[in-house]
């Protein structure tokens, strides 16, 4: 059984004391594909070091996270473009709009999101979207950029059934993580209506640990709890969830 974690920040400082052990723990449980989203240029070296330590398992993204978009975002986007010319990346992410933590830079976030979508198209890469309190704003830009050359993942999807259908219409998979195990997560109430071909698994570690680890550091190993919950919702074996979601990830990332 091969499991794919499509979104894990294993280079985070939260793993500085036991990174190799945390990765090996996940590998031993069947997680053999780890997709690593970027935040900003300050994390580039630690991401490259992670890939060097586990070259068979780590697949890097590059991009500028919306909560790190400030006045100098153009400089950060230049770094993203520069790295695309130097190294192999499998997606532009995570990118998008976040109006939960910061509304001051909405205009800059919109510009950075649009420019990174266009960069992904130029390099024939998928995008991985971060969206918090901003579905309308994100959908507005996706509507303008939609096309056969647009594909990706709606990371940490926490919207409604209707918003899920809109996201899917833009050729996005839904990234399902720990929230599906929360009592108040709500997405578990309609995921049985979403065809599994539209779903990928993720942890977003070290954030959003699933029940029963909620409130603690998340790890890629805990994707097992997400997988089991999704299997329960859809009434299928764990192995089927692992197989289908891994195939879906291959469709998105091309590997």
**Angle, nearest 10°, between helix axes 19-28 and 44-53?**
50
Cα separation, 250 vs 50, whole angstroms: 21
pLDDT of residue 221: 98
pLDDT of residue 234: 98
Cα-Cα-Cα-Cα torsion 60, 156, 198, 87, nearest 10 degrees, comes to -10
Can you read off the two tokens belonging to residue 231?
């299997």
pLDDT of residue 253: 98
CB of 134 closer than 8 Å to CB of 93? no
Can you read off the two tokens belonging to residue 216?
């603690």
Q: What is the pTM of this model?
A: 0.97
3-state secondary structure of 48: helix
- Residue holding tokens 């971060």? 130
Can you read off the two tokens belonging to residue 36?
């690593």
3-state secondary structure of 198: helix
Strands (E), 99-192: 127-132, 152-154, 172-176
Strands (E), 74-115: 92-98
Options 3.40.50.200, 3.40.50.920, 1.10.268.10, 3.20.20.140; CATH of 3-253: 3.20.20.140
Strands (E), 179-226: 199-201
How many Å is the maximal CA-CA distance in the chain? 48
Other CB atoms within a 10 A radius of the CB of residue 1 amount to 15
**Angle, nearest 10°, between helix axes 135-145 and 106-122?**
40
pLDDT of residue 101: 86
pLDDT of residue 185: 87
Verify cis geometry, omega within 30 degrees of 0, for the bond prior to 212: yes
CB of 21 closer than 8 Å to CB of 46? no
Q: How many helices (H) and strands (E) does the chain have?
A: 8, 8
| Residue among 2, 59, 7 nearest 174 (CA) | 7
How far is CA 127 from its chain centroid?
9
Write out the chain's pLDDT in tens, 255 residues.
999 999 999 999 999 999 999 999 999 999 999 999 999 999 999 999 999 999 999 999 999 999 999 999 999 999 999 999 999 999 999 999 999 987 899 999 999 999 999 999 999 999 999 999 999 999 999 999 999 999 999 999 999 999 999 999 999 999 999 999 999 889 999 999 999 999 999 999 999 999 999 999 999 999 999 999 999 999 999 999 999 999 999 999 999
Q: pLDDT for 8-32, tens place per residue?
A: 999 999 999 999 999 999 999 999 9
What's the Cα-to-Cα distance from 203 to each of 5, 210, 214, rounded to whole Å? 6, 8, 12
Cα separation, 24 vs 164, whole angstroms: 33
């Amino acid at each position: 059984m091969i499991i794919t974690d499509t979104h894990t920040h294993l280079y985070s400082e939260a793993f500085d004391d036991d990174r190799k052990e945390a990765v090996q723990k996940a590998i031993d449980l069947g997680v053999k594909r780890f997709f690593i989203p970027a935040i900003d240029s300050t994390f580039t070296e630690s991401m490259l070091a992670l890939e060097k330590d586990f070259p068979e398992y780590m697949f890097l993204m590059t991009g500028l996270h919306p909560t790190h978009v400030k006045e100098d975002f153009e400089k950060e986007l230049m770094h993203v473009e520069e790295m695309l010319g130097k190294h192999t990346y499998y997606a532009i992410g995570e990118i998008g709009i976040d109006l939960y933590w910061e509304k001051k830079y909405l205009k800059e976030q919109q510009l950075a999101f649009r420019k990174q979508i266009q960069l992904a198209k130029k390099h024939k890469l998928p995008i991985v979207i971060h969206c918090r309190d901003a579905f309308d704003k994100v959908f507005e830009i996706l509507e303008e950029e939609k096309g056969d050359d647009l594909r990706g993942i709606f990371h940490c999807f926490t919207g409604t059934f209707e918003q899920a259908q809109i996201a899917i219409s833009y050729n996005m998979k839904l990234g399902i993580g720990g929230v599906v195990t929360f009592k108040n997560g709500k997405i578990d109430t309609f995921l049985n209506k979403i065809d599994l071909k539209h779903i990928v698994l993720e942890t977003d570690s070290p954030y959003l640990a699933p029940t029963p680890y909620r409130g603690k550091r998340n790890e890629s190993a805990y994707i097992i709890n997400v997988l089991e919950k999704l299997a329960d919702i859809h009434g299928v074996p764990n192995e089927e969830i692992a197989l289908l979601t891994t195939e879906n990830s291959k469709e998105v990332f091309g590997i």
